[in-house]
A and B are shown apart, each in its own frame.
Chain A
Amino acid sequence: MPGMEVLTGALIYSNLLALLAVGLTLAYITTAVPNFAQGSFAVVGSYTALTVYRLFRIHPYVSLPLAFLMGGIVGLLSYLLVLKPLVRRGATVVTLMIATLALDLILLGLRGIYAGYLGKLTGSPCEMYMFTYLDFQIFGLPAILVVSTLVIVVTFAVLFTLLYKTKFGIALRASMENPALAEIMGVNVEYTRMFAWFLSGALAAMAGCLLPFKQEIVPATAEIIIVSIFAASIVGGLNNIYGALVGGYIVGMSESLVTYWLSTVFGAGMLVYGKVVALAIIIVTLLVAPQGIAGVEWRLIAKKLQKRGAKEV
């Protein structure tokens, strides 16, 4: 049986992964491009939190709203400056994906320059850091578990209200389902895309703000985490926001728990193979159910099973 520590660690990781995957899915639904820069959006949040802490000694939990805002701005600018001009020219999916790779590289360069600058300003290097020493306990639970769970609950509550209880939400869903039709009905699809990219960057940055409580931020953090984000989005179904939530937990939990289990059987050397679990999940999903969990017609399967059951009787 895995200990309490392993379970909470897995849960925290899953919370953050779900946030990141929801952002990726939002951008994919509205713009039809898998965003390879999603990991870099997260790093924007990590550095926002680090800057505020180093300069003003403000706790990273307090700077969550600021991270949200900064990530949102980066996401919005990415859409307006990088993707929108290409979408307008009718660029293919591959072109758009290459553009997000370019965006990721630009963000990596900016991150490097900023880290160097911040390091000089504060007098201590900012290439690698963690916030674990800043964490405390709430009712015997690590605060990061409580905070990350709260963030995800609030995010989904707000997202649900927005999508299903407001007029803007109806317009948003309409333009996700069928952009051309929505446009005919007078919905400005452009706004929904801008909103989706803002939210995508903002959610990723919130996850990034909390990530240093769980693992060390290194120059390659964005690259390390991107495979897991894609795994979470794909297993849930790239076309479904709730799928991303479910996918985040499936990938986060199995990445942590399967590697833990493997390491107890085969020794600690197995811990480095965590990402292989995420990769395996991507491959199996694409082979078995390319549309992800949300795309599987569960009712149809249930019916088939029932029929088979009836025959046997």
Chain B
Amino acid sequence: MLYGLILNILLWFGMYLIVSLSLNIEYGYGGIPNFGKALSVLVGSVVAGGLMTRILMAVYGTKMGIGGLSTATSVVSNEMTSSIQHNPMLGLVLLVATLMLAIAIGAVVGAVFILPSARLREDYLAITLLAIAETVTMICYYDPAIIGSYYGVSVPDFLAFLQGNVKKLAFVGIVLLIALLTYLFFERLMNTPYGRILRAMKENEDVVRVYGRDIMKVRIMTMAVGSAVAAITGVLLSFYTLRVQANSFMITGRTLWTFYPFLIILLGGAGNNKGVTLGTFIFVTVMEIIDFYKTNIVSILHLPVEAVWLEYILFGVMMLLILYYRPEGLIPEKPILTKPIKKAYETRKPEIARIKE
């Protein structure tokens, strides 16, 4: 029982860390209020469920029958899954290929996503990003040609050669590995000239412009990178559930993949990858514990309701409390200590201390 809980915490820690880190470079470092974060996760799921399955259907020569996309994908997924059972390499190729495809398409979508909001103030920017994400989600929900709408589509099991506990363990391991790579990638990226321009942009756009940098280019690049990375989680989600269903994004998409990542980075500390990692861990642990004791909670409180509503209220209130009492998060953002700044800090320590007083 407890083993399962720990495994679940690790799984969702990895999933959420990838998305939260990507939102952190957009919002925490760059100051872009991406209220449409859920879109890039959806893109990953659409690539896995709508695009990769179609490619496989072409490879296996599966015809779209009377059951439509839903049936056809389950036929091709079953076929692929049984091939993977004998050939683990095929599973690996499937995972890597899908991830590459999702990263590429995620980057393009992210770059296009920000284009209409060129030169907008942050409130209008946030509204536009949210509106685009909601509209795309709605289209995926209502149009069965994309990912089968309500009926959903099936995705092959790339770990079909493993069974039971080992399989889940391997899956969690892969998710954590990807999350680690993401962390290292972003830490590296924020230590490049681009990373420093990004932080400067958040503080003062005019200064960045004075130094001859194009704000729009920085924004596009940031959204491309952020969306590409978040699309990875979309792919992993599909491979975890082996199904992609648009209705799971319809009501909960914005909550799970826009609101919760914001909650995480505000909890941990925006503009600080270590803080975000800590925030992710705390958030996921709370969420999984609630999930674990769901039935107990509901029966103790004698409520005729599903625990998910309580969870929404709890996390909504938690967000407000963070905004009131600790808007800088658990680990606040630190200044970039390049060598000259470090030197200046050390030589002028008494002065700084005096100013602070």
When A94-B33, A98-B319, A106-B316 are in contact, do A275 and B138 touch as well, CB less than 8 Å? yes
Min CB distance A141 to B, Å, is 30
Please classify the interface of chain B as helix (H, G, I), strand (E, B), loop, or mixed, using the class held by over half of its residues.
helix
Query: Which residues of chain A (214-243) have a CB below 8 Å from chain B?
Result: 219-220, 223-224, 226-227, 230-231, 234
State whether the Cβ of A62 lies closer than 8 Å to any Cβ in chain B: no
Chain B residues near A273 (CB-CB < 8 A): 139
When A106-B317, A287-B116 are in contact, do A91 and B134 touch as well, CB less than 8 Å? no
Q: Bound state CA distance, A95 and B138, in angstroms?
A: 26
When A89-B324, A113-B303, A117-B304 are in contact, do A102 and B316 touch as well, CB less than 8 Å? yes
Q: Which of B120, B124, B309, B319 contacts A113 (CB 8 A)?
A: B309
Pairwise interchain contact B309-A102, C-beta atoms closer than 8 A: no
Chain B residues near A33 (CB-CB < 8 A): 123
Chain A residues near B118 (CB-CB < 8 A): 287
Which of A178-186, A191-199, A278-286, A300-308 forms part of the interface with chain B? A278-286
Q: Which of A91, A109, A278 contacts B316 (CB 8 A)?
A: A109
Pairwise interchain contact A230-B306, C-beta atoms closer than 8 A: no
Min CB distance B110 to A, Å, is 16
Pairwise interchain contact A36-B312, C-beta atoms closer than 8 A: no
Min CB distance B38 to A, Å, is 11
Q: Which of A94, A117, A278 contacts B122 (CB 8 A)?
A: A94
When A117-B305, A227-B135, A286-B116 are in contact, do A106 and B313 touch as well, CB less than 8 Å? yes
State whether the Cβ of A103 lies closer than 8 Å to any Cβ in chain B: yes
Chain B residues near A102 (CB-CB < 8 A): 259, 316-317, 319-320, 323
Chain A residues near B303 (CB-CB < 8 A): 113, 116
Chain A residues near B310 (CB-CB < 8 A): 109, 113
Min CB distance A43 to B, Å, is 13
Query: Which residues of chain A (89-131) have a CB below 8 Å from chain B?
Result: 89, 91, 93-95, 97-99, 101-106, 108-113, 116-117, 120
Pairwise interchain contact A34-B123, C-beta atoms closer than 8 A: yes
Pairwise interchain contact A95-B327, C-beta atoms closer than 8 A: yes
Contact digits for B268-289, partner A, Cβ 8 Å, 1 yes 0 no:
0000000000000000000000
Q: Which of A97, A106, A108 contacts B35 (CB 8 A)?
A: A97
When A220-B250, A279-B135 are in contact, do A230 and B311 touch as well, CB less than 8 Å? no
Query: Which residues of chain A (258-299) have a CB below 8 Å from chain B?
Result: 269, 272-273, 275-276, 278-279, 282-283, 286-287, 290
Chain A residues near B134 (CB-CB < 8 A): 223, 226-227, 275
Q: Which of A97, A276, A290 contacts B33 (CB 8 A)?
A: A97
Q: Which of B258, B306, B323 contacts A116 (CB 8 A)?
A: B306
Q: How many residues of A contact B (CB 8 A)?
A: 51
Query: Which residues of chain B (246-305) have a CB below 8 Å from chain A?
Result: 250-251, 254-255, 258-259, 262, 266, 303-305
Query: Which residues of chain B (305-336) have a CB below 8 Å from chain A?
Result: 305-306, 308-313, 315-317, 319-320, 323-324, 327
State whether the Cβ of B127 lies closer than 8 Å to any Cβ in chain A: yes
Chain B residues near A86 (CB-CB < 8 A): 323-324
Pairwise interchain contact B35-A279, C-beta atoms closer than 8 A: no
Pairwise interchain contact B304-A116, C-beta atoms closer than 8 A: yes
Pairwise interchain contact B131-A279, C-beta atoms closer than 8 A: yes
Contact digits for B103-124, partner A, Cβ 8 Å, 1 yes 0 no:
0000000000000111010111
State whether the Cβ of A174 lies closer than 8 Å to any Cβ in chain B: no
Chain B residues near A282 (CB-CB < 8 A): 127-128, 131
Q: Bound state CA distance, A290 and B117, in angstroms?
A: 10
Pairwise interchain contact B131-A103, C-beta atoms closer than 8 A: no
State whether the Cβ of A82 lies closer than 8 Å to any Cβ in chain B: yes
Chain A residues near B308 (CB-CB < 8 A): 112
Q: Bound state CA distance, A282 and B130, in angstroms?
A: 11
Min CB distance A234 to B, Å, is 7
Min CB distance B18 to A, Å, is 21
Q: 6 nearest interchain CB pairs?
A: A109-B312, A272-B142, A112-B309, A106-B316, A109-B313, A102-B319
| Residues on B facing A (Cβ under 8 Å) | 27, 33, 35, 116-118, 120, 122-124, 126-128, 130-132, 134-135, 138-139, 142-143, 250-251, 254-255, 258-259, 262, 266, 303-306, 308-313, 315-317, 319-320, 323-324, 327
Other A-B contacts than A94-B27, A272-B138, 4 sampled, CB-CB below 8 A, are A95-B327, A103-B316, A105-B255, A220-B250
Sample of 7 A–B contacts (CB below 8 Å): A34-B123, A101-B259, A102-B259, A106-B313, A269-B143, A279-B132, A282-B131
